[in-house]
Amino acid sequence: MTTAPTLFGARYSVYTRIARLTLAEKGADCRLEEVDVFAPGGPPPDHAARHPFGRIPALEHDGLSLYETGAIARYVDEAFPGPALQPADPTARARMNQIVSIMDSYAFRTLVWDVFVERVGGPARGRRPDEARIAGALPRAATILQSIDAIRGDAPWFAGAALSLADLWALPMLVLFRLAPEGADALRRLPRLTTWLSAMHERPSVRATRFPIEG
């Protein structure tokens, strides 16, 4: 019998939320141990043993200590019972991997750091937004949204007929992006993505992992 995993991370973190969504969609119990990587003195010193790059999340389960969200999510999908979150069909799996890679490589910096953090997260802490950084990011943001919208097409989920890791990767980044007025405007122009976001918000996993800034 396996023990419940411990996830080290923070409720505000995009990548922690992806891992929490994955665990929740599998119906796996999980203990979240809060690690604040942005605390003034940096993460607690013992976090370096879990994550040498000082990031979150990290997972501990049955003697396995794991970091990198891609490894954690795939491990959770394969080690726990519950619905498969990676399609077996090669085409659907390729689409899932393509979306995950787009979100990691382009969307995290552009949608989250360049737009959400500058417009919403930073000002909430008293920082002035860097307008040039936001303006420079918006064309890239439009390319990202149009690309993932085109890949999904009219399918219910990003990899086709069933929810997959692709949906769990896209959700947290699009949620934060939409909190910026520029993000909300950009998403309003893509009704298929807006419909998908509404469907995601009905899921218990999404409700259970809301970012504190969502209220």
Ligand X SMILES: N[C@@H](CCC(=O)N[C@@H](CS)C(=O)NCC(=O)O)C(=O)O
Q: How far apart are the C-alpha atoms of 13 and 55, rounded to whole Å? A: 10
62-70, 77-85, 124-132, 203-211 -> range binding ligand X (CB under 6 A): 62-70
Q: How far apart are the C-alpha atoms of 77 and 163, rounded to whole Å? A: 12
Say which DSSP state 209 is in. Answer: T
| CB of 56 or CB of 148, closer to ligand X | 56
11-19, 88-96, 138-146, 162-170 -> range binding ligand X (CB under 6 A): 11-19
Question: Which position among 21, 56, 144, 200 is part of the footprint of ligand X (CB under 6 A)?
Answer: 56
Give the nearest distance from C-beta 6 to ligand X in angstroms: 16
The token pair at 164 is 């997959």
Give the nearest distance from C-beta 153 to ligand X in angstroms: 27
Q: How far apart are the C-alpha atoms of 174 and 172, rounded to whole Å? A: 6
Contacts to ligand X from residues 69-128, by CB under 6 A: 69-70
Give the nearest distance from C-beta 42 to ligand X in angstroms: 8
Give the nearest distance from C-beta 188 to ligand X in angstroms: 26
| CB of 17 or CB of 149, closer to ligand X | 17
Say which DSSP state 48 is in. Answer: H
Give the nearest distance from C-beta 111 to ligand X in angstroms: 12
Q: Sign of dihedral through CA atoms 132, 134, 135, 140?
A: positive
- Under rule CB under 6 A, residue 68 binds ligand X: yes
For ligand X, which residue has the nearest CB?
A: 55
Task: Return the closest-CA partner of residue 108 out of 38, 207, 13.
Answer: 13
Count other C-beta atoms under 10 Å from residue 211's C-beta. Answer: 18
50-58, 141-149, 161-169, 176-184 -> range binding ligand X (CB under 6 A): 50-58
58-61 vs 64-67, strand pairing mode: antiparallel
- Under rule CB under 6 A, residue 15 binds ligand X: yes
Contacts to ligand X from residues 28-47, by CB under 6 A: 37
- Can you name the residues that pair with 7 across neighbouring β-strands? 32, 59
- Under rule CB under 6 A, residue 144 binds ligand X: no
Q: What are phi and psi of 57, to 5 degrees?
A: -95, 170
Q: How far apart are the C-alpha atoms of 99 and 118, rounded to whole Å? A: 24
Residues that bind ligand X (CB under 6 A): 13-15, 37, 54-56, 68-70
